[in-house]
């Protein structure tokens, strides 16, 4: 809900809802910036990416059942997740 970014009105706050909203904001910002840059002579490109499900300590705050299930789908180490971002920042057009 773009009119209630701080969950201040009648919207119920959930950690996953806030996380998803922040990820959407990143995508929308990157797209808008890229659209603006395309109208210039700049060779800069704005991108947004999801590196995959990374094995980080963020999962420690979930309930035990969720941690068990998420352990089955976490497919990248922190280093592999970082490599995705580094590649994206270095690739040429």
Dist. CA 74–CA 68, nearest whole Å: 10
Contacts of 14 (CB under 8 A, 6+ apart): none
CB 73 within 8 A of CB 51: no
The dihedral built from the CA positions of residue 29, 34, 35 and 37, taken in this order, carries a sign that is positive
Catalytic residue positions, numbered: 13
Dist. CA 70–CA 52, nearest whole Å: 12
């Amino acid at each position: 809900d773009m009119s209630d970014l701080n969950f201040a009105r009648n919207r119920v706050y959930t950690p996953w809802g806030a996380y998803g909203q922040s990820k959407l904001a990143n995508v929308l910002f990157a797209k808008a910036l890229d659209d603006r840059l395309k109208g210039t002579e700049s060779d800069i490109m704005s991108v947004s990416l999801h590196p995959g499900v990374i094995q980080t300590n963020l999962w420690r705050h979930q309930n035990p059942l969720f941690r068990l299930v998420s352990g089955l789908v976490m497919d990248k180490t922190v280093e592999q997740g970082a490599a995705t971002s580094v590649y994206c920042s270095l690739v040429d057009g």
